[in-house]
Chains A and B, each alone.
Chain A
């Protein structure tokens, strides 16, 4: 019984620490990446998995099934909204002609937009 409890604690601690680290990485990435688009990468991916890991840790510690279902709804909302938000910010930035990092190699969106407006 004692061993089972400590194994459970270890798993929950690991999930919490991993989730928190990923959220921290997302924050540092926002600060360090060179332009809006790269920052959106940092804001969507680690933040989503980080939140999911924290939610799994919380679900393992909760005994009430209703609360676990609430956590599932939170996870679903994050999976639906994070990519949408990043998409809208990225699209707006690109249309507004936001500066891309100087080492950007190709931009086929700018090329195709020019072609369309040229018609």
Chain B
């Protein structure tokens, strides 16, 4: 049940040492004891999570692309929300949009959802699995398609940067299929979920 996860223990130890501020033998040993105790006594609920097969890996160039895109969006988010706070006239146009996602591992979904919540005027309210749908609250809703396209673009960047080889391959399949469908695909996405 409580499978020992060496990477998690190493990571927790690193945080422990960072909080003490000194790299000493006592700090590393203490960190290892605390990290092992934590992972054994309080196993993460993600242990039984879905896996997409294959090992997740980090691709440096794609990861930098993702990080740079996210940093820019974070600044943009602040300018937009800040402007909204300061201007007297209320131009807020709220809405909750369902965004169907391509589907990826639980960890990657969490990453995408967190980034969506930190980028301009969007906030994840709920997540539906199987099929994977994010319900995103939008501060300035212009068109529903625009919101969907933006969140889906973020997911694709995340899969390219951190996804398994299998997830990336399915992404490519998806792209060719969409290219085949051509212009009709966007309207299909917009109306597809209305059927019971």
The reply on B94 being an interface residue by CB < 8 A is: yes
A70 within 8 A of B: yes
Cβ-neighbour of B78 out of A45, A69, A103 (below 8 A): A45
- Asked whether, in the complex, the Cβ of A105 is within 8 Å of the Cβ of B94, the reply is yes
Counting chain A residues whose Cβ lies within 8 A of the other chain, the interface size class is: 35 or more
A58 contacts the other chain (Cβ, under 8 Å)?
no
Q: Assign chain B's interface to a size class.
A: 35 or more
* Of A22, A73, A108, the contact of B98 (CB 8 Å cutoff): A108
Give Cα A106 to B78, complex, Å. 24
Name B115's closest neighbour in chain A (CB-CB). Answer: A83
Does A7 sit at the interface, judged by CB under 8 A?
A: no
Q: Would you call A70 and B18 a contact (CB within 8 A)?
A: yes
- Number of cross-chain contacts by CB at 8 Å: 136
Q: Which residues of A contact B21 (CB under 8 A)?
A: 64, 66-67, 69-70
**For A32, what are the chain B residues with a Cβ–Cβ distance below 8 Å?**
85
List A residues at the B interface (Cβ < 8 Å): 22, 25, 28-29, 32-35, 37-38, 40-42, 44-46, 48-49, 64, 66-67, 69-70, 72-73, 79-80, 82-84, 86-87, 90-91, 94, 100-101, 103-110, 112, 115
B interface residues, Cβ below 8 angstroms from A: 15, 18-22, 74-75, 77-78, 81-82, 84-86, 90, 92-98, 113-118, 120-121, 123-126, 128, 133, 135, 137, 139, 141, 144, 193, 196
